[in-house]
Structure formats: C-alpha cells, structure tokens
C-alpha cells in the first residue's frame, strides 16, 4: 500500500529549471517514482542533455525544452511541447529561479525586473501554459519558494519579493483549482548546496550555517524527496500549504 502511494507511473511531469541543482534532483526523483519528464532550462544545453540521459537510464521518457520561463510566449511553448510529446500534463514543478543580490541602494531596475520575471512571472506563465490539460483529470502543482520569502534577507529585496509572491499565488491557485481536483502547494527550502549557494561569499555562507540548527546546508535530494511526496497520492489531502525544508533555519 505504501509503495503505491508514492507511485507516479504513467504520469507526465513538467519541471522548469531542471538542468542543474534542485530542479535536476526533482526531475530525477519524479522519474524514479515513475513519471515521464518534460525538462526545461534556459541556457545549459549540455547539463540538460546529461539529465535527460540519466532519466532515460531509469526507463522513463524525457523531452528537453530550452525556453526562458520569464517570457510568456516561450513558456507557452513548454506546455505545447508537453502536449505534442506526451498528450497530457499531470504535474508541474515551478522550480526555475535566479538571484541578483544587491543592497536596495545599489540594485538596478534591471536586476529587480530580471528576478521578478524569472522567479515570479514564470510561475504565472508556466501555470497558464499547462492549466487546461492539468485541470482535465486532476493534477498537482508544486512551486519552489524559499525560506527568504518568509524571513526576508539583506541584499535580496528582489528575490524575497518573488518567493513571498509564490506563496500568495499558491494559496490562491489552491482555492481556484480545488474544484478541478488540482492540488497546489509550495516548498520553501532553506540554504541548499547548489550553484546558487555558490554565489554567496564564503564568509557569509559560514555565518548562515551557524544559524541552521541541524548544522549543515541541505542537499538537492532532500528537497526532491519532499517534492515527490507532495506530487504523489500520499499527499492527496494536502493543498495550499508551503512546506518548509530548512534544517530548522525557520523555527
Ligand atoms: P541553480 O543551481 O542555479 O539552478 C537553476 C536552474 O534554473 C537551472 O537549471 C537553470 O538553467 C534554470 N533557469 C534559470 N533561469 C531560467 C529561465 N529564465 N528559464 C528557464 N530556466 C531557468 O539554482 P538552485 O539552487 O537549484 O535553485 C532552484 C530553485 O530553488 C530556485 O527557484 C531557487 O530560488 C530555489 N531555492 C534555492 C535555494 C538554495 O539554497 N539553493 C534555497 C531556496 C530556494 P539554465 O542554467 O539553463 O538557465
């Protein structure tokens, strides 16, 4: 019974920003649970191709789509590609994200706008891209917020605003789509070992680590496990929540 509850065989999952880091681990986790994957990314062709091969090794199908999710038209192509290749969409994971950290006094409008488009408008764009197929037979949306969306952080006004926005979007979509049997949740990871964390200076990383009760950064796989859970029938009565995964960083 327990195994069935985590089984995603026959499902089709769209994962944005799936070529590296957390998105890569989520795509592999969903594939391991049985889902075929549409893997989106915006630049990293080689990395995306490697992930595709890993997914195929697991016996699943994978289609890669290079598209900037911050651009409405490009995001619609992701939905079209999923329908062309698989004929349906069951799961959407809005994971793609960037940071452009600066104190507000030095933050340019371009840095504000790029992060807003990539992290938040993308969630609107991609949800719109798959909403029709997703709501036909019930489905799941998981969007990747952040501990920063709840706590704020010096130098991250743009990033924190997008991650808080994702939580509001999630709660609203959970209400709007419940009647179509679509569950909509967010995850709020703490600091996770990826290229993004590598952009934080080493001394600041050490200070951050001291604030994590479990005493270490998370791994992409730990975030993927929670995401697979939210996408699976095991979470069938969970909607509108933001699941915190952060080693105790936000107690
Ligand atoms: P990462 O290692 O930098 O990977 C980012 C992924 O997003 C890459 O696959 C990248 O592909 C893709 N991407 C970036 N811009 C894109 C765009 N415009 N269109 C499509 N894909 C795009 O980052 P990560 O740490 O795994 O972060 C993944 C998500 O988790 C983000 O939403 C981030 O905010 C969130 N998060 C991260 C942490 C952390 O500590 N790492 C904590 C909390 C939340 P390309 O290189 O091809 O563009």
CA distance 70 to 17: 11
φ/ψ of 172, rounded to 5, equals -70, -45
Domain presence at residue 121: yes
For residue 48, tell me if it sits in a domain.
yes
Q: Is 86 in the pocket of ligand 1 (CB under 6 A)?
A: no
pLDDT tens, residue by residue, 140-149: 999 999 999 9
Residue 63 within a domain: yes
Establish whether residue 144 lines the binding site of ligand 1, counting it when its CB lies within 6 angstroms of any ligand atom: yes
Does some domain include residue 59?
yes
- The pLDDT value recorded for residue 162 is 99
Q: Is residue 23 part of a domain?
A: yes
- Please indicate whether residue 43, judged by its CB atom, sits closer than 6 Å to ligand 1: yes
Closest CA to 78 of 117, 123, 45, 116: 123
pTM summary value: 0.98
Residues 6+ away with beta carbon under 8 Å from 218: 189, 190, 191, 192, 193, 245, 246, 247
Domain of residue 226, residue span: 2-245
- The per-residue pLDDT for range 78-111, each reduced to its tens digit, is 999 999 999 999 999 999 999 999 999 999 999 9
- Which of 162, 195, 196 most suits a substitution to test ligand 1, by most atoms within 8 Å of the C-beta? 196
* pLDDT tens profile 194-214: 999 999 999 999 999 999 999
Q: Judge contact between 191 and 212, C-beta under 8 A.
A: yes
pLDDT category of residue 135 using cuts at 50, 70 and 90: confident
Look at residue 218 and tell me if it is in a domain: yes
Q: 15, 18, 21, 46: which to mutate for ligand 1, most atoms within 8 A of CB?
A: 21
Question: Tens digits of per-residue pLDDT, 28-47?
Answer: 999 999 999 999 999 999 99
Question: Which residue in this structure is represented by tokens 């290079």?
Answer: 66
| Average pLDDT for 57-85 | 98
Contacts of 97 (CB under 8 A, 6+ apart): 17, 118, 119, 122, 144, 162, 196
On average, the pLDDT of the chain sits at 97
- Determine if ligand 1 sits within 6 Å of the CB of residue 247: no
- Please indicate whether residue 123, judged by its CB atom, sits closer than 6 Å to ligand 1: no
What is the per-residue pLDDT for 251? 85
The domain that contains 183 carries what CATH number?
3.40.50.720
Q: Is residue 251 assigned to a domain?
A: no
Domain tally for the chain? Answer: 1
Distance 63 CA to ligand 1 centre (A): 19
Residue 250 lies in a domain: no
């Amino acid at each position: 019974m327990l195994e069935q509850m985590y089984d995603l065989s026959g499902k089709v999952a769209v994962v944005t920003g799936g070529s590296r880091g957390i998105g890569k681990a989520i795509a592999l986790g969903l594939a391991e649970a049985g889902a075929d994957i549409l893997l989106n990314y915006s630049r990293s062709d080689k990395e995306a191709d490697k992930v595709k091969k890993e997914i195929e090794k697991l016996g699943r199908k994978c289609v890669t789509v290079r598209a900037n999710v911050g651009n409405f038209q490009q995001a619609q192509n992701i939905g079209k590609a999923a329908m062309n290749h698989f004929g349906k969409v069951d799961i959407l994971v809005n994971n793609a994200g960037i940071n452009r950290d600066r104190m507000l006094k030095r933050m340019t409008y371009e840095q504000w706008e790029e992060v807003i488009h990539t992290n938040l408008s993308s969630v609107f764009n991609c949800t719109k891209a798959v909403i029709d197929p997703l709501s036909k037979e019930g489905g799941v949306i998981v969007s990747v917020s952040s501990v920063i969306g709840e706590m704020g952080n010096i130098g991250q006004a743009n990033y924190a605003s997008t991650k808080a926005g994702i939580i509001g979007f999630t709660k609203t979509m959970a209400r709007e789509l419940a009647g179509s049997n679509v569950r909509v949740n967010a995850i709020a990871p703490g600091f996770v070992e990826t290229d993004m964390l590598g952009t934080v200076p080493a001394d600041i990383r050490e200070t951050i680590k001291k604030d994590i009760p479990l005493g270490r950064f998370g791994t992409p796989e730990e975030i993927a496990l929670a995401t697979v859970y939210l996408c699976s029938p095991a979470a069938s009565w969970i909607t509108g929540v933001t699941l915190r995964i952060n080693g105790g960083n936000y107690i």
